[in-house]
Structure 1
Amino acid sequence: MQNNDILIRLRYALDIRDKDMVEIFKLGGVEVTRDEMRKILTKSKDTYEDEVDVEESEDHIKCNDEMLESFLNGFITFKRGPQPPRQEQSKSESTSEYSKDHINNMLLKKLKVALQLKTEDMLDILDDGGIIVSKGELGAILRKPGHRNYKECGDNFARKFLKGLVARYRG
C-alpha cells in the first residue's frame, strides 16, 4: 500500500480537516502548505492499476516513508500534546528503525499510541475491519523489528485496520 493511500484513508477514517493536516505535518517537523497537502492527498496513477483512462496528475506529490513517519509523529503530538524531552535522548537521535518493509507495523504502532488504544480496542477495530486475530498475533506485529517474535504486517492487514477505524470513528 502506498503512503499517499495510507494518508488518504487515515484522513477519511478520522475525519481530519485540511488545516489540521497541515498542523500535524508541522508538528512532525515537515513544513507543508495547504496546496501541497492537497497534492499529497490525490491518488496517483499507480493506485489505479486496472483502469486505463485515469490520467496522471502533474500536481501529485509522492509521500515518502520519512514524510509518513513525520506525519504520524505529529499526529501523536496533535492528539496527546507535546512531551517534555528526556535527558538521555538528544534531538539528533531521531533515526527511524523502520524500513520500507516495516511501514505498516509503524503505522499500527503509532496509531495505537496516538489514539490511546488498548490491545482489546485494536482487536475490536480489526474485527470491525473484517479480520480476526489473536492477542499474540497483534503483539507480534507491535514488536520492534529484530525481536525474535516480530511479525511483519502486510498491506491487507493495514487496510483492514484502517477500514475498522472508519467503522469505529465515522459510524
Structure 2
Amino acid sequence: MKPGQVLYKIKEALRLDPETMLKIYALEEYPIDEKRLKAILKKPSAKGHENASYEELGVFLDGLIRLRRGEIKSPPPEDAEIELDNNLILKKLRIALELKDPDMEVIFELGERPLSRSKLRDLFRSPQHPKYLLCSDAMLNDFLLGLEEFWADMPPVA
C-alpha cells in the first residue's frame, strides 16, 4: 500500500483530527504543516493531492507510539535506517495501540481475514526466520478495515 493510503486509513480508524496528527508529528520534531498534511490525506484523484513518503508514515507511527505509550526509552541510533514494510507497520500499530494477540485476531476477523494465532505470530518474526509470514498489501488493508470497526467503540486518539 502507498504511505498516503495507510495514513488515511489510520486517520479514519482512530478518528484523528488534523490537529492531533500535527501534534503526533511534533512529538517526533518532524516539520510538517497543515497544508502538507491535508494534501497527503486527499484521495489520489482529488485536486491538490500529494504523495506521502515512507519517511512521513514512519515518523507518524513513531509519534503515535510516543503519544500513546510515552517517551521511548532507548531510541535507535540516528544513522540506523530501517526499511518500513507492511510487517513493520503492523508491529508499530500493535505497539502504539497496545494490542494483544486476541485483539489482533479480532481485528483481522473484522477485516474478513481470519488468522490463527500461529500465523499471527509469524507476521512478527524476523524476516530470516523460516516461518516468517510476509504481510501483503491486501492483508494490511484488511487489518486497517478491521481496526476501524474494532476502534469504533473506543474514544478517538487524542
TM-score by length of 2: 0.88
Equivalent in 63, 87, 108 of residue 52 of structure 2: 63
Instruction: Give the whole-Å Cα distance in 2 for the aligned partners of 1:30 and 1:61.
Output: 18
Instruction: Give the whole-Å Cα distance in 1 for the aligned partners of 2:119 and 2:39.
Output: 36
Moved over 4 A (4+): none
Equivalent in 111, 120, 123 of residue 102 of structure 2: 120
Q: Confirm whether residue 31 of structure 1 aligns to residue 31 of structure 2.
A: yes
User: Helix, strand or coil: the match of 1:152?
Assistant: coil
Structure 1 position 33, deviation (Å):
0.7
Q: Bigger CA drift: 142-151 or 31-40? A: 142-151
CA RMSD of aligned residues (A): 1.7
Structure 1 position 145, deviation (Å):
2.4
Equivalent in 45, 70, 73 of residue 81 of structure 1: 70
Letter in 2 for 1:71: F
Q: Confirm whether residue 44 of structure 1 aligns to residue 39 of structure 2.
A: no
Structure 1 position 120, deviation (Å):
1.1
Instruction: Give the whole-Å Cα distance in 2 for the aligned partners of 1:146 and 1:64.
Output: 26
* Gap runs ≥5 in structure 1: 46-55
* Gap runs ≥5 in structure 2: 154-158
Size of the aligned set, in residue pairs, is 153
Instruction: Give the whole-Å Cα distance in 2 for the aligned partners of 1:85 and 1:156.
Output: 33
Letter in 2 for 1:95: E
Structure 1 position 148, deviation (Å):
2.5
- C-alpha distance after superposition, 1:51-85 (max 9, x if no partner): xxxxx62x322112122111111110011111233
Instruction: Give the whole-Å Cα distance in 2 for the aligned partners of 1:63 and 1:29.
Output: 17
| Counterpart residue number, 2:78 | 92
What are the within-5 Å matches in structure 2 for residues 103-118 of structure 1?
A: 103-118=85-100
% identity of equivalent residues: 29
Structure 1 position 144, deviation (Å):
2.6
| Counterpart residue number, 1:21 | 21
What are the within-5 Å matches in structure 2 for residues 126-145 of structure 1?
A: 126-145=108-127
TM-score by length of 1: 0.82
